[in-house]
Protein backbone atom coordinates (compact mmCIF):
# COMPACT_ATOMS: atom_id res chain seq x y z
CA UNK A 1 0.00 0.00 0.00
CA UNK A 2 1.24 3.50 -0.74
CA UNK A 3 -0.03 6.67 0.92
CA UNK A 4 1.11 10.08 -0.41
CA UNK A 5 0.87 13.52 1.18
CA UNK A 6 0.25 15.56 -1.98
CA UNK A 7 1.03 18.88 -0.29
CA UNK A 8 4.53 17.92 0.87
CA UNK A 9 5.09 14.99 -1.52
CA UNK A 10 5.95 12.63 1.36
CA UNK A 11 5.23 8.97 0.72
CA UNK A 12 4.62 6.03 3.06
CA UNK A 13 5.03 2.53 1.63
CA UNK A 14 3.50 -0.20 3.80
CA UNK A 15 3.62 -3.96 3.25
CA UNK A 16 1.12 -6.04 5.22
CA UNK A 17 2.20 -9.65 4.89
CA UNK A 18 -0.23 -12.38 3.95
CA UNK A 19 -0.94 -15.25 6.28
CA UNK A 20 0.58 -18.35 4.72
CA UNK A 21 0.79 -22.00 5.69
CA UNK A 22 2.84 -21.07 8.74
CA UNK A 23 2.29 -18.30 11.26
CA UNK A 24 5.76 -16.87 10.64
CA UNK A 25 4.48 -13.70 8.91
CA UNK A 26 1.08 -13.51 10.61
CA UNK A 27 0.03 -9.87 11.17
CA UNK A 28 3.48 -8.59 10.13
CA UNK A 29 3.77 -5.00 8.90
CA UNK A 30 6.84 -3.40 7.32
CA UNK A 31 7.26 -0.08 5.62
CA UNK A 32 9.16 3.14 5.17
CA UNK A 33 8.57 6.87 5.02
CA UNK A 34 10.15 8.55 1.98
CA UNK A 35 10.78 12.21 1.23
CA UNK A 36 10.16 13.91 -2.12
CA UNK A 37 13.56 12.65 -3.38
CA UNK A 38 12.83 9.01 -2.50
CA UNK A 39 15.17 8.93 0.52
CA UNK A 40 14.03 6.83 3.45
CA UNK A 41 13.74 8.69 6.78
CA UNK A 42 11.76 6.23 8.91
CA UNK A 43 11.12 2.48 8.93
CA UNK A 44 7.92 0.87 10.21
CA UNK A 45 8.09 -2.61 11.69
CA UNK A 46 5.99 -4.90 13.86
CA UNK A 47 2.69 -6.73 14.01
CA UNK A 48 -0.63 -4.92 13.73
CA UNK A 49 -2.18 -7.08 16.45
CA UNK A 50 0.67 -6.48 18.95
CA UNK A 51 3.04 -3.53 18.58
CA UNK A 52 4.33 -1.25 15.79
CA UNK A 53 7.61 0.64 15.98
CA UNK A 54 8.96 3.57 14.02
CA UNK A 55 12.74 3.75 13.54
CA UNK A 56 14.50 7.01 12.64
CA UNK A 57 16.98 5.98 9.92
CA UNK A 58 19.43 8.83 10.58
CA UNK A 59 19.67 8.37 14.37
CA UNK A 60 18.84 4.66 14.64
CA UNK A 61 16.36 5.50 17.42
CA UNK A 62 13.41 3.10 17.67
CA UNK A 63 10.09 4.33 19.12
CA UNK A 64 6.93 2.36 19.86
CA UNK A 65 3.97 4.12 18.17
CA UNK A 66 1.18 1.56 18.62
CA UNK A 67 0.32 -1.17 21.12
CA UNK A 68 -2.80 -3.32 20.80
Residue 18 has pLDDT above 90, yes or no: no
- Global confidence as pTM: 0.83
Angle at 13 between CA 35 and CA 18, to 5 degrees: 165
Provide mean pLDDT across the span 45-68: 96
Burial of 58 per CB tally in 10 Å (0-12, 13-18, 19+)? exposed
Residue 20 has pLDDT above 80, yes or no: no
Secondary structure (3-state) at 20? coil
- State the Cα torsion 64-68-12-10 to the nearest 10°: -60
CA gap 8, 4 in Å, rounded: 9
Amino acid sequence: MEVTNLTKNIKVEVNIHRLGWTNKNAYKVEGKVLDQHGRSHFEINGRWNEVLSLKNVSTGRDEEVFRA
